[in-house]
Amino acid sequence: MSESSPRVIATDLDGTIVRSDGTISARTVAALSRVERAGSMLVMVTGRPPRWMTEIAAAVDHRGVAICANGAVLYDLHTETVLQANEIAPDVLAEVIGRLRRVVPELRFAVEYPTGFVFEASYDLGRWDAAALGGRPADDAELVSRGGTKLLAFHPAADPDALSAKAVQAVGDLVTVTHSSGRGLLEMSALGVTKASALAALCTEHGITAGDVTAFGDMPNDLPMLTWAGTSYGVANAHPLVLAAVSHKTSRNDDDGVAEVLERLFP
């Protein structure tokens, strides 16, 4: 590892290294491979659940570790196994859903687990079919019958930033609220669980400080990680809040912006 190379590369997936067509380019795969070859740690930090990581693991040749569900799940890409999960307790799920229903009655809910998810019958994502994505319908009682790694709340017509602000006001004392899809889809984790909290814990285990971490992202759910890391990059297609918060900018995800930086850091 070069003296100037960061000890950790932490990168978001969708919108950051994953292109608009859902692929990771050969150039980006090659750039990611330089990280572990140089002796640094590669961490994929994503809102995706573990079940959506199979193609990613294969695309990067099972390199690195992943932090999934916005910090709630630690996942080994080498073996494709869940190492740790931090869940929202059932009573908290029930209270959060109840409060949000009173504030925004149009919301429809789903609860993610490390291996699957349940959703209420009205949870219609339009172009995404919840059942086809690995979920199954559940009544109100089952929805809150066990802890979950992520609570999802969908509004078909809401502005995501405005909806997120309203949710933080209503339930920010119970869960961590964020969003990442560009739609009215809220993503909630256990209180205090973020991409940054999970990445910080992982780094602490390895004796690594924030100053040794370079992070990449594009959406509000990346902000805790980007503001924690010693060096942060936003891709050119990133949310305005991200572009305002990062210390550096790079090209769009579709133009291999992360690869551009990694090729300089790991020549």
Instruction: Give the tens place of pLDDT for each residue, 214-250.
Output: 999 999 999 999 999 999 999 999 999 999 999 999 9
3 pLDDT higher than 50: no
Q: How confident is the model at residue 101 (pLDDT cuts 50, 70, 90)?
A: very high
pLDDT of 1: 42
For the chain, domains (ranges, CATH) are: 8-85+193-265 (3.40.50.1000), 90-189 (3.30.1240.10)
> Residue 34 corresponds to which tokens in the numbers above?
């330089």
159-181 pLDDT, tens digit per residue, is: 999 999 999 999 999 999 998 87
pTM above 0.85? yes
Q: Residues for the chain: how many in total?
A: 267
**Is residue 111 a contact partner of residue 89, using CB atoms and an 8 Å limit?**
no
What sign does the CA torsion over 216, 9, 212, 260 have? negative
pLDDT of 184: 87
Q: Which residues of 221-252 are buried (b: 16+ CB within 10 A; e: fewer)?
A: bbbbbbebbebbbbbebbbeebeebbeeebeb
Q: Name the 3-class secondary structure at 188.
A: strand
**Residues near 119 by beta carbon (within 8 Å), at least 6 away in sequence:** 108, 109, 110, 111, 130, 135, 136, 137, 138, 152
**CA-based radius of gyration for the chain:** 18
Residues 228 and 150: their CA atoms lie apart, in Å, by: 22
Task: Give 65-127 as a DSSP string.
Answer: EEEEGGGTEEEETTTTEEEEE--B-HHHHHHHHHHHHHH-TT-EEEEEETTEEEE-TT--BTT
**Is residue 220 a contact partner of residue 178, using CB atoms and an 8 Å limit?**
yes
Q: How confident is the model at residue 55 (pLDDT cuts 50, 70, 90)?
A: confident
Strands ordered across the beta sheet of 135-137: 135-137, 116-119, 108-113, 150-154, 185-190, 175-179
To 10 degrees, what angle do helices 160-171 and 90-103 make?
A: 120
Strands ordered across the beta sheet of 8-11: 81-85, 73-76, 65-68, 41-45, 8-11, 213-217, 231-235, 248-250
Give me the residue label for tokens 């964020």. 178
Q: Name the 3-class secondary structure at 175.
A: strand
Q: In Å, how far from its chain's centre is CA 140? A: 26
Give me the residue label for tokens 């990680």. 225
Residues 256 and 267: their CA atoms lie apart, in Å, by: 16
pLDDT of 198: 96
